Each structure stands twice: as structure tokens, then as C-alpha cells.
Structure 1
Amino acid sequence: MPTQELAPPNANYGIFSDWDKSLKRWFTNSYKTELKNVHIDHVLNGTTCQPISLKEFQFFLQNKEHSAENLDFYFWYLGYKKRFEKLSEDEKAKSPPPKERPSPGIIYNNPNKANKDDKQVAEEQEKQNQLIEQQPFREEIEAIILTFFHEDSFKELNLDSYLSRYVTYYSQQTTHPDIFEDVHQHIYNILKTSSFPNFIHHATQNIRYTFYVIEYAGVFFNLLHIPVVLYYTYSHHMSRWYRLSLFWFCFFFSTSLLSGRAGFCTIRGFANFRQVPLYEFSEYKVERGTVEKFIKNGPVGLPLQLQEQQLLPEQDAEKTGKKKKKKSLTEILDPEVLKYGRQMWWHIIIAGIIFSAVVTIIGVSITNEYDVPPAPPMPP
């Protein structure tokens, strides 16, 4: 089992700290958001809440990265190892551990039988097959090989070829969990270094991609008004104080720009709500014979038929429409995400105030209101 390296506890989120990370998120496309006190093991152990719970992580892998087989294999191995360790010593002896660890460049073939006649080979093979069939969990291991290591399986793991050859070869000889140890470590590293950072980056956003259009529309609208205000007040020699309106246009321009870059709506962030990502919102799952749909309260929702029974009776069209709109929002419950959201909210607001104040001060300080306007041209 991979060694758990939990993040250092109680790292603080301050209003005046981590500005370098916020700037990277706003202006660097390759930067991935990090949560200080959250590690991959927290998610895998089920100690986090939505929007970074294990169920959301599963939805992300299944519908965003299309690599849910990694999580399936990870938990299967943990469960299988526990079940194998609970066997009696006699049962364990039927499945000895492999004689070697996987290594690149080694070709795993059947042992050389050139000095044996066909009858002797057949007898030894029959005895070997009988012993193999008596091994614990033999059918399960064969099913796992077909599911995660066969090239025609849609859940085939993304492994180096030598790892696949090693597991395929030794799984025909033993069912000991050690044959999957290196594969499990490899999958854990993929989840830790690739999938988990991408998941946190998306989970800390509280808007869907369709809402980006609204944010950038606000950017364009307010940016267009800044030169208009400057041109109109200067061309008409108006009082400098008319240019105080620059503050609000600059403020909404900068906050909309930073919100769009971070995928963080300040209004929803202030209320601790987020828009459910499309890869979660349309998720269906089969559990205990009923089809359940993701709704407002999170991944575990009411059965679809139960929803219809609760919404339709004694509800007019207006109330039903309101309920349907609320389903696209979900409350943020994880305390670390809430801390990060508050920090990002303050960073956006403070950055917007500073930028707006600088532009407004410059605009107000430069004035031509006391200049004599040029005389109108004389008629010929």
C-alpha cells in the first residue's frame, strides 16, 4: 500500500498572504490551484466534504478525465489485500508471493521444457493446473486481469508494458496480492500527481464554463465605458469630479476579469454556493436497483421517480420552475474550500479596489476644466 504523506495541518489562509498564488491563477494558464491542508489521502480516505469529496472525485475521473478505472483498481486492491490477509495460513500457502519484482527489459515466458518429453510436460502441466485452480480467489483474479489488463477492455489501465506483462504472467501462477503491488503504487502516483491537482483546480471553481461568457461580457461592457468617460469629460472641459465614475467602471471591469480568470464568482463565493459542474450535474448512478440522479444536496440524491412525485403535486408551474433552477447550485461544505473561497473573494475585491483607485486618481488629477475652450470657427 502506498505510504500516506498527509499535508501539514493547520496552514492558514490570510487575506494578505498567498498573493503570488492568486496572481498565478489569474494570469498563468498552467497554474493549478492548491488547497494547503488537503492531500490526496484525505480524499481517498473519505474525510473531505463536497465539492472535494470522494464521490465528486469519482465523478471527475469518470466524466472529465475518463480515467475512473484507476480509482476502481485502487480500491479493489486495498479490499483484496485485506481479504487475502484474513485467510488461514494453509490457504495463503497455496498462493505464494512472486519470486521477483517487475523490471523493465525482462521477458516473462513459461519455463524452458526442452529436456522433457511431451507426456511428462502434460502431466506436470495438469498437476500445476489443479494446484492453480485450488488457489483462493482464482476466478476473481482472472476477472480482474480481463478487466484491467486486457488490451480489448475499455477499463484497461494505462501502464508500462513491462508491468502489464509481469502481472499477466504471474497471475497465471498465483493469486497473491504482491503481484499487483507495483501496479497499485503506479496508479496511486498517477492519482496523486496528475488527477488530484486537476480535480482540486476544478473543484475550487464555483461557476460553469457557460457563466464565463457573462463575466467577460461584463469585462467588455465596463472597459468600453472607461475611454468614453475620459473622452467626454476632457472634450467638454468638464469638472474633474465627474470622472469619479471611473472608479465603478474600473472596479467592475477588474473584478469581472479576475473572476473569469479564476473561475470564481464573487457573489456565489460570498454566499458559499457553487454551480454544479456539468460532468456532475448530469451524472446518473445505479444503486440498489434504483436510478438516482445528482440533485441539489449532492451526489446522493432522491430516486428520479421520487423527485417527480415530490415536485409535481400541489406545486404550481412557478414554484416548480424555481425548484428546477435551484438544482444547479449546491452548498460548499468542506471547510478548506470555504477558507480558500474567502481568501480568493478578498483578493479579487482588494485587487479591484486598488486598480480602480489608481486609475481614478490619475483620471481626476489630470484636468483641463480651467483651460479656455477654443473659440468656435468664424463663419466665412
Structure 2
Amino acid sequence: MSILFYRRPDYLSRPAGPINHKDCQRYVERAKKSERIIPDGLSFDEIMNHHSLPPCSLNDFMDYLVYIEHNAENLQFFLWYKDYCQRFEALPEREKALSPPFYPETADAPDLSRGRDMEKDTVKKHKDNDREKSGYKSNGAALFSEDKNTPSPTRPAGEAFEHSFETPSASEFSSIPNDADVAAQAGLKWQPFTIQPMREEINRIMRHYLAFTSPRELNLSHKDRALCLHALQHTTHPTALMPAVKIAEAALRGQSHPNFIRWSICNGNRPRVFFVRTASTNSVIFGFILAIVLTLSRKSRWWRIFAAIIWLGGFSATVAAYKGLCVIMYFSHSRALRPWEQNLDEELTDVEVDRRGSSASDQRGAQVSSSDGPQSQTPPDYVDSNATTQEDSQQGYSRPTSMRSFGPKNSYYENANWKSRYERKSLFRKIFDRETYTQDPALKFLQDRIIIGAVIWAVIITIPLTVVFVALPKGNYYG
């Protein structure tokens, strides 16, 4: 990787419509190009296996998808699928034999080309002529997996994804389609009772991710959605979900992951980076003024070399700020806290902070004393830092339960009161926001290369300017 010409992965916008197989192949090509730029320590697999550290951990990746890209469903579904493959392979052979792999030679999948309008019509009737022949052949291998038998790489031993099997609220029930609706959308005669393993969990996945108007509906084409629903009627084997998994994984690897790395390189927020860029530009302008003043004076021409020192620092900071780096925070190995990571109650009066803090402490103590069940057994790496707690509710926050496989619709900014609180902060407080230590060494390595490249570019620009001003004759106008 060239230091001088290093660049971050290109920013890729979200597709406007459903992701089809053509888009999927384009994501594959983009993922291969990004692999040559992104270090191995920040690769997609390293993040999925919890080998990266903040600000590039799996929780940070999920926060980025929730708060920045607004496309968290793919990762939520992919994490569940990884854990589902691991748990399915751990089943006894007699249970796995009840759900054989799905290898359709000619999949008679229903036609969902009428889109969401079909949700109302197909509940009552199903037309045989709305079916289309599909030549999809599942080979049981994920898009980026080398193992033909296991659709996705498994998580390291001892780590398990958090499955939230809590009873949904009334608002969730109103938005989650039931089994009859899912079956009607797929044009199938649903069989609610089966001896296949994990059938109830598969039904919930269909209601949460695959059905139209589901809370976390995946951005699938009508054909891929029909293939999944048709396959899941016959088996609960992981291969039945391959059309959805391929598209979700391709979008994560080819779009979301490069964008996340590009976004994580920036160690400051927008006001801070803009402030640094303005200050460095003014420094460059001051260097020109100093060089011109010394050139017009009677001073020795060698005094003009002092302008080169100012130019070198100014151009270096400008190029680094263009890449999203604050040089001051870089040398302190820190980064600005994201708005959702901050305690925004600090903007309130001291009296309000003390009152809310004492109330929150009492509530937190009550929660700790009364916590039991699956929540107390959640592994540390999968503690949902975004889950809405009683303390958050009292303080006005509303955070999505993003690290849970089942839950309400990702609300993103609709109910995020922290956003309005952050916007009320003064510009000065935003520029000098709270900082935290950058832990991931691979990310520091990327930042090092950007700073080195910025210095090299500054030297390349400064040397010719210095030579030109030193070569100019003295003006002899003053001093």
C-alpha cells in the first residue's frame, strides 16, 4: 500500500430499490478492492469475530449502521444466522435429519412481483398462475465462505449471540405479521405444527426479516424473498436462507464495512475537523504574508525560510483534516466521543444534573438487585449498550435494541431525543467535545499512514514555494 497515495475506501450510497443479484455481484467486486486497502486487523471477519477494538469493534459497527447508515437489519440478520448455523450443527444427528438441506432443482417459488400490494390480496386467495419457475440452485455455501457444508463462519468458542425471546409489546404485535400473513405472501399452505428443530425460531425470523411490512424487513428482491419463504416451508436447514444471507453479507462486505472503516478513521466530529481545517488554512495564509513581507524588506533572503516552517505545519494539518483527522487528537491517540456515547445531561444546570443523577442511581441499584434470567447471563461482548433502560427513559433517551436478533423496528432518529440535545450544545462545546482513547492498533496504523502522507505532500508543496521566495530579490522598501 502506497503511503503517498493512500486513500480511504470510497463512500458508497445505499441502493434505492431492492438488492438483486446484479447488485450483489457489484458488492463482491467492491469488497475485493476494499480488502487491498483495509488492513487485516480491520477486516470484516475480524470485526465479526470480536478481534477488533473500539472504535472499530462489533458494537461500534452496529452503532454506525443504526445512527449513520440507517441500515442495521443486514447485520442483525447476519449475526443471528451465524449463531443459528453454529447451534444447528450442534444438534443431534437424528434432529438434523428432520431438516435436510434445501437443494431445489426447479424451485416452484411464488411470484411476489406485485410487491406490498400482494399483502392484502393473498391473505384471502392464491392464484396458481402467479408462480414462476426459478432455476436457483443452492450449493449450501455462503457468498464469501470457503466451507461448502457450513454456510457461514462460526464464532469463536465461548461466544454466543444474544437471542431476545422476550414477549413483544402491544405495539410490536401490531407491526409483526403472523404466520398466516407470511404464508399468504408466499402463496403457501402454512403448516403451523412440525417436528423440525428450531421451527418456532424460523417462524419468528420470517415474521421479523422476510415478510412484507415486517419490523426489520430485509432489502430483498421479490424473487429472493419468495425463494426463502418457499424453502423455509420445507426445512429449517440454514441453506433455506441462502438467498437472503448472500445479499445481506454482500451488502455488509461491499458497502457497509468499507464505509464504516472510512468513517472510523476520522477522530474528530465535523465542527472539530472544520475548526482544524480553518486554522491550518489561516496558518498557510499567514506563511504567505510572512514570506511576502520579508521579501519586500531589506532583510536577508534566508529569513524567508521561516515561512517554510509555517507552511509545513499548515499544509500537513490541512491535508490531514481533508482526510478527517485532527492532528492534535492524533498525537494524543484520542478521538472525540460520538453524540450517542455522551452524557448529554451535562448541558443541564447543576441542580438538574444532581437531581437526575441521584434518581438514576436509585433506579440503577433497583435494576441490579432485581435483574435475573437471560439478561444476567448475557456474555459481556454482547451486552446491548443501546437497549433502552429505565434510566434512559427518565433522561429522555430512546435507543434501539440493536444487538438483539428479535425486537422492534429500528427507529433510528425518529425517537432519538439525544439528537436534539446534542444540537442544543454550543459550537464551542462541540469543537472541544469530550475525548476517549483510540484502542485499535490497526486503526492507528491507518491514521499513521495518513499523517505520513500528509507530511510528504506538505514537503512536496513547501519546498518549491520556499525556493521561489528565497530566489526573489529583496524589495528594499523598509527595515
Tell me the TM-score normalized by structure 2: 0.56
- Compared CA separation, residues 139 and 348, structure 1 to 2 (3 A): same
Using a 3 Å threshold, how does the CA distance of structure 1 residues 223 and 101 change in structure 2: closer, same or farther? farther
CA offset at residue 130 of structure 1?
6.2
CA contact (8 A) 2:3 2:453 kept: no
The corresponding residue for 1:86 is: 90
The aligned residue for residue 125 of structure 1 is: none
Contact in 2 for aligned 1:50/1:334 (Cα 8 Å): yes
Return the match for 1:344 from 446, 450, 453. 450
Question: Quick one: distance in 1 between partners of 2:308 and 2:11?
Answer: 28
1:285 aligns with 2:386: yes
- In 1, Cα distance between equivalents of 2:57 and 2:65: 12
Contact preservation (8 Å) 1:95, 1:174: yes
Report what 1:41 is aligned to. Answer: 45
Q: Residue 201 of structure 1 corresponds to which residue in structure 2?
A: 262
1:156–1:267 Cα change, 3 Å: same
- Assess if the C-alpha contact under 8 Å between 2:56 and 2:261 holds in 1: yes
Name the amino acid aligned to 2:38: L
Partners of 1:56 and 1:280 within 8 A in 2: no
Give yes or no for contact 1:246–1:356 (8 Å, CA) kept in 2.
no
Write the letter of the residue equivalent to 1:217.
T
Shift of 1:364: 1.5
Q: Give aligned-pair identity as a percent.
A: 24
Q: Deviations over 1:16-71 (max 9, x none)?
A: x52121xx459x98898933223211110111111211111111111111111111
Equivalence for 1:253: 314
Match for 1:98: what amino acid? F
1:306: which partner in 2? none
Aligned equivalent of 1:19: 4
Structure 1 segment 349-368 matched on structure 2, within 5 A: 349-368=455-474
Runs of 4+ in 1 over 6 A off after TM superposition: 28-33, 109-112, 128-131, 287-290, 324-327
Counterpart amino acid of 1:157? L
Does structure 2 retain, via aligned residues, the 8 Å contact 1:34–1:201? no
How far off its partner does 1:132 sit?
Answer: 4.2
Offset at 1:230? 4.2
Check 1:29–1:361 CA distance in 2 against 1; reply closer, same or farther (3 A cut). farther
CA distance in 1, matches of 2:11, 2:127: 53
Q: Distance in 1 between matches of 2:241 and 2:208?
A: 14
Secondary structure in 2 matching 1:144: helix
Separation in 2, partners of 1:93, 1:290: 47
Whether the 8 Å CA contact 2:111–2:222 is kept in 1: the answer is no
Task: Give the number of equivalent residue pairs.
Answer: 309
Change (3 A) 1:149 1:249: same
Q: Paired residue for 2:399?
A: none
Distance 1:70 1:47 in 2: 20
Q: Secondary structure at the match of 1:159?
A: coil
Among candidates 140, 156, 161, match of residue 222 of structure 2 = 161
CA contact (8 A) 1:215 1:259 kept: no
CA contact under 8 A between 1:50 and 1:56: conserved in structure 2? yes
Q: Distance in 2 between matches of 1:242 and 1:91?
A: 84
**Residue 152 in structure 1 maps to residue 258 in structure 2:** no
Report the 3-state secondary structure (helix = DSSP H, G, I; strand = E; otherwise coil) of the residue aligned with 2:436: strand
Task: Tell me how far 1:239 sits from its aligned partner.
Answer: 3.5
Looking at structure 2, the residues matched to 279 and 243 of structure 1 have their Cα atoms a distance apart, in angstroms, of 48
Q: Distance in 1 between matches of 2:303 and 2:106?
A: 75
The one-letter code sitting in structure 2 at the alignment partner of 1:34 is: I
Q: Alpha carbons of 1:29 and 1:228: their partners in 2 closer, same or farther (altered >3 Å)?
A: farther
Which range is displaced more, 330-339 or 279-288? 279-288
Structure 2 equivalent of residue 50 of structure 1: 54
Q: What's the TM-score, normalizing by structure 1?
A: 0.69
Cα deviation code 1:67-89 (max 9, x no counterpart): 11111111111222232333334
Query: Aligned residue for 1:212?
Result: 273
User: What residue in structure 2 maps to residue 243 of structure 1?
Assistant: 304
Which of 238, 249, 253 in structure 2 is aligned with 1:177?
Answer: 238
Q: 1:89 to 1:184 in 2, by over 3 A?
A: same
Q: Provide Cα deviations, 1:251-280, integer angstroms capped at 9, x if missing partner.
A: 232022112111112222222111233355
Aligned residue identity for 1:136? P
Which letter does structure 1 place at the counterpart of 2:240?
A: I
Q: 1:273 to 1:258 in 2, by over 3 A?
A: same
Aligned to 2:330: 269
CA displacement, residues 104-136 of structure 1 (integer Å, 9 cap, x when unaligned): x96469897xxxxxxxxxxxxxxx866843333
Shift of the 101–41 alpha-carbon distance from structure 1 to 2, 3 Å rule, reads farther
Cα separation, partners in 2 of 1:20 and 1:350, compared to 1, 3 Å: closer
The RMSD of aligned alpha carbons is: 3.8
Cα distance change, pair 285–335 in 1 and its aligned pair in 2 (3 A): same
Residues 250 and 29 (structure 1), Cα distance of their counterparts in 2 relative to 1, 3 Å cut: farther
SS in 2 for 1:274: strand
Task: Find the structure with the greater CA-based Rg.
Answer: 1
Alpha-carbon distance, 1:289 to partner? 7.7
Contact 2:295–2:304 (8 Å) recurs in 1: no
Q: Which blocks of at least 5 consecutive residues in structure 2 are unaligned?
A: 13-32, 113-125, 129-188, 344-383, 396-429
Q: Would the alpha carbon gap of residues 44 and 239 (structure 1) be closer, same or farther in structure 2, given more than 3 Å must change?
A: same
User: What letter corresponds to residue 240 of structure 1 in structure 2?
Assistant: R
